[in-house]
Structure formats: structure tokens, C-alpha cells
Amino acid sequence: MRIAYFTHSLAACWNHGNAHFLRGVLRELIRRGHEVQSFEPRGAWSLANLLRDHGEAGLAPFRAAYPELQAEIYDAIEPAVECAARADLVIVHEWNAPALVAALGAARKRGAFDTLLFHDTHHRAVSEPETMRRFDLSGYDGVLAFGEALAAVYRDWGWGDRVFVWHEAADIRLFHPPIVEGPRQGLVWIGNWGDDERGAELESFLFGPAQAVGLPLDVYGVRYPEAALATLARYGARYHGWAANAAAPALFARHSATVHVPRRFYVERLPGIPTIRVFEALACGIPLVCSPWEDAERLFRPGMDYLVARSGAEMERALRALRDDAELRRNLVQNGLAVIRARHTCGHRAEELLRVVQRLRAPTLQERCA
């Protein structure tokens, strides 16, 4: 099958978490014999920021980790749509221009592509619904939503059984435990500050408990304003700036544990949707503690695959336990690895996508009886 994916950026993961999953799932589709193309606009925000901060060297980790992936850069929308017209399946990510989304839908109405899907991996459907409703999806065959809570929003908007839950997952060809185990020390947190969507939560569930327990804390990410950097300094955390996603497994391998602190919208408005760092951390075999989030879809086994802390005091107790109990660390690592390998790899998601396409292409009862 010929597959085209329109992304914000394939090469850049600067504040662009969808690139993590996209790289892994496209690679899995290629390994299954499919012809895959990726399209991204010239001057994409994530790529522009990466090049501003790190130059061409910032792209080296992606190129080394994913030599089989390369995006087509387009300047104008219509030529890009025309270039993708020979594809059997086209998927467009929600972090794209409404004009592109509309143009692809119009092409589908004219008979281009066999299947056209919209892929939503953000909370804007509940935080900025008027923004998302501006997308013209009238020509689309279906919607891929990265969690059941988000899929329910699209069902309310009239998509019915044409919206499909397509969770993110770990690319286990890159994210896996170290081949040779080395020394580990302290905590690591890889995440962006962004628009202060979890600033208070980070103080309560990460900075404060790490300091109280006496665990060194290394922080990686972007968009940390001066006030956030001052907060890190006050708690004694070491800030290292941006880290390429391809470097994350090595960072996990040097630390004893990590923490998941979801953004507020994923706790209050879209429960059950973890960030991709949960999948990646468990795949790398590092013990994980989560601040409160409801695993409404039973993706994991809380208390077995990771620990849950419902308050800052509980987080302190969990971190002390991880620091002092080697058997607890081993059990969490084994359980986390098992659930990822059984259910949550990019290989699993590639197969799920192919089943979605097969289902959409299956004739309806009315067509079969005609």
C-alpha cells in the first residue's frame, strides 16, 4: 500500500511529541513492505526553533536513528496535495494548516486517495474547540484519536463509528533497556514547560519530593521561561535544555527512576490519555512514578507497571521506596517491559492502522445486498 502522512515535522522533535510516535510507526509500516511518504511544510515551527537553537547539528540524532525516513518539504499546498494523489492512504495530523486539511478533503471528494484520515493527538478539541471546528473534515473517511476520551468528543460531533482510538506507543527498536547495564543515580524528567499547564503540579509532584528525598534531579526540555528556571534552581534541579528524542534512552539508562506529570487537560478533561513518555520510559526499563491520572482504558496496571502518587507526600514515599528497594525496582521494570511488548509498540499500532483502513474499505450491508 502507498501511504502518505502530512505532519508538522518529521525531522524535528523540539516541543513536538507527535514526531516520536510518527517516526516509529512509519518505520514499522516500511518494514511491512508499504511505500511511505511524509510531507511537511517549509519553515515548520518546531524545525525552525530546533535550527535556531542547535543548527543542522540538532538534526543529526534523528538522521542517525531513522536513516529510512525523510520528509518531502513543500512550499505550496496544492502541489503537495497533487504529489500525494497517487497514495492509497493519506493521513493528516491536526498540527497542520486548515487550508491543507481542506485541500486534502477536496481532493478526496474528487476521487483522489482510497482513504483519507485526520489524526488528532492534542487536547485542543476540549481546550479550544472553536479552533478545531474550523477544520473542514467533510471529505474525510475517518478520524484517528489518541484516546477514548478524545474519540468521544468526535462522536459527539457526528463521526459515529468513523472515529477510531489510536493510542501512541513506544518505538522499541530505539526505546529499550541498555544492552549493558551501567551505574544509575537520581531522577530524570524529560518534558517541556510550555504554557504553564502543569507548573504547580511539577512543584508538588517532582521538584519538592525530589529535594525532600535527597535525590538529584536532571531536567531536559524546552520553553522554560526565567521564572521556571528560577524554580528549578530553588529546588536544586539541574536543567540541561533540549534533548533529542533519540537521546532519551541513554538518559533513562543513567538514572534510577523517572516521573510522569501529565498536563492539566489530560487529567481533568481527557482522562485516560498518557503522554508518550509513559510508553517510552516503560520500554526503556526505568522505574516510573505517576502523579494522579485515571487510566480509564486500562492500558497499564497501576501499582504493577508503575507507581501512583496522589499527593506530594505519597510521591516522597514512592521515591524513597524506589531509592531503597532494589526488588521493587526490578518488579516495576519487568512488569513495565512486559506490558509494552505485549500491547504498546509501534508495531502494534501499525497493525491497528491497517485494520482501520480495512474496516473503512469493507462494503456496507447495503452495498453487499445491492
The ranges assigned to domains in the chain are: 2-169+346-369, 187-343
Joined grid coordinates for residue 232: 528549578
Q: Which residues contact 128 (CB under 8 A, 6 or more apart)?
A: none
- The CATH homologous superfamily for domain 187-343 is Glycogen Phosphorylase B; (3.40.50.2000)
Helices (H), the chain: 18-31, 45-54, 60-65, 77-83, 98-109, 124-127, 129-132, 148-154, 199-202, 208-213, 226-234, 248-253, 264-268, 276-283, 312-324, 326-343, 346-361, 365-369
Round to whole Å and give the CA distance between 121 and 302.
23
Domain pair 2-169+346-369 / 187-343, same fold: yes
The length of the chain in residues reads 370
State the pairing for strand pair 163-165/35-41. Answer: unpaired
Burial of 55 (0-12, 13-18, 19+ CB in 10 A): exposed
Q: State if pTM tops 0.85.
A: yes
Residues forming a β-bridge with 41: 74
The DSSP letter of residue 271 is T
In the Cβ-directed half-sphere of 52, how many Cα atoms lie within 13 Å? 9
Q: Which helix or strand (DSSP H or E) is residue 311 part of? A: none
* Homologous superfamily, domain 2-169+346-369: Glycogen Phosphorylase B; (3.40.50.2000)
pLDDT in tens, the chain (370 residues): 999 999 999 999 999 999 999 999 999 999 999 999 999 999 999 999 999 999 999 999 999 999 999 999 999 999 999 999 999 999 999 999 999 999 999 999 999 999 999 999 999 999 999 999 999 999 999 999 999 999 999 999 999 999 999 999 999 999 999 999 999 999 999 999 988 788 999 999 999 999 999 999 999 999 999 999 999 999 999 999 999 999 999 999 999 999 999 988 888 888 889 989 999 999 999 999 999 999 999 999 999 999 999 999 999 999 999 999 999 999 999 999 999 999 999 999 999 999 999 999 987 544 544 5
Distance CA 109, CA 104 (A): 9
Residues 306, 8: Cα–Cα separation, whole Å: 32
Residue 123's nearest CA partner among 294, 299, 292, 271 is 271
All three cell numbers of 125: 478539541
Is the CB of residue 84 less than 8 Å from the CB of residue 37? yes
